Structure 1
Amino acid sequence: MSAYTLTRRRLAGAALALVFALAPAGAAFAAEKLKLGVMGGDEERIWEVAKKIAAKDGLDIELVSFSDYAIPNEALEKGDLDANAFQHKPYLDSQIAARGYKIVPIGYTLVQPIALYSKKLKAFADLKEGAVIGIPNDPSNGGRALKLLEANGLIKLKTAEGQVPSVLDVTDNPKKVEFKEIEASQLANLLPDLDAAVINTNYALGAGLTPAKDALIQESRTNNPYGNFIAVREADKDKPIFKKLVASYQNQEVADFINANFKGAIQPAW
């Protein structure tokens, strides 16, 4: 065997070894995966669009669907999820205060203005004295509901700056309305038993309510502090994989899907 032939074989072997050495790194990139917790229904539909965009960038998103706000942060904190996308800052702040979660927002997704609905009334002005109004029983969304009612003149609240109001902070209630604090996911189901209820948009849409047509009053869509976002564990916030996750959602294709399908009930928040 000539020295030339031996050299060629050695070079070929070295090249092959290099290919095998690099293969695991390439395979790991191609198989980059994460579990993302989202609310079922319309929010999950939007994420299906973002999931396809992420796949083009080598990111495989497994969507884990929830129907209850109380679970996704606990699942994220425990490591059962890599990220979640369902909440606004006042809600996360209240969860951190109550449970000590080390969770942070990394990118905005959507905003869903909360609204008051009724099966018994045609207009907000029709609320009678002693009416029973359902509001979410979690502090952040309950406070949000009370602020909506205050903004429309039904009640007055007294709270310190930055404080989330509760029914104990109602200082003026001319119509003597009664507030029933109910799990947010159940308000739409119990609406026939109430005079009215303040319902989060995802649950309203899931119950066949259309904000533009059915809401008696609704939050302003401009300067709304309740934009939802993607959240991760604080220790993970700078990982490149999450930059891909945010970019997959904050995409014109996702914005176009939201605007085309939800007629303003859900809006892009980035």
Structure 2
Amino acid sequence: MSNDFPFSLLRKLPLMNKEVNKYSFGHVVVIGGNSGYAGAARLAAEGALRSGAGMVSVLTQKASVSGVLAGRPELMVRGIEANEKGIEHANAILKKATSVVLGPGLGRDEWGRFMWDHFCHLSHNKVVDADALWFLSQAQNPIKLVNAIITPHEGEAARLLNVPREEVSKHRLSSVKKIMKFSSTCVLKGHETLVASQSVAYENKTGNAILAMAGTGDILAGIIGSFLAQGLSLDEAACLGVWVHGRAADLLKESEEGIRGSVASDLFPYIRNTML
């Protein structure tokens, strides 16, 4: 198990020089934001923007479009209906995507199921998070996702493995390795988040209790999706993503008088500072 400092991976991101344009930094597509959960998709999308993605699109439930877009005009937001016309609209946007984040605020209703069924097998490099992990756990036959990073917390990991949460908490390293049957790269969130694949075993040392707040996992999914869009490998994006996410929380803690009352979106300025 390595806890080597992954800061050097920042050098692998595209340089911010005068020759670049928005296409130089990738196009992330976030799929989620069911009715009542627009905030999750919005947090993931802004997480991708704040960590350097050139463009971010959100494919969301029609009722959530205004909620995702409000106050963040840089996002491209499209309401997708659960029918063939909706799939056509989604595919037109996905053709231009460099990476995908599937799951933040997806919901577990018919719309969420429709989106999961149609997009879980995309060939894009992708992050699979939140309610998408619930659908993954409910599959009658185990699904091995392709070109994917899955990002469960301990409860989601327990559901995937069909074991009590306490077992995952006590045996985090062996649990994250077992989860690899669903995806080649796995992130087990929590205190000292773990990243595991066939070639990587990384224990992250950044972060604090701020990351126990609702919405911070959505931001992490967006950050990792951004790094995929900017050309990092699955393992690199996962390791750098959890480090940047935790480091932003550490900078926030250092800058404020205590951490009680902080919310997920307070991380955004510090994500930018971490990327300097």
TM-score by length of 1: 0.31
Q: Which has the larger radius of gyration?
A: 1
- Could you say which structure has the greater relative contact order, defined with CA pairs below 8 angstroms and 6 or more residues apart? 1
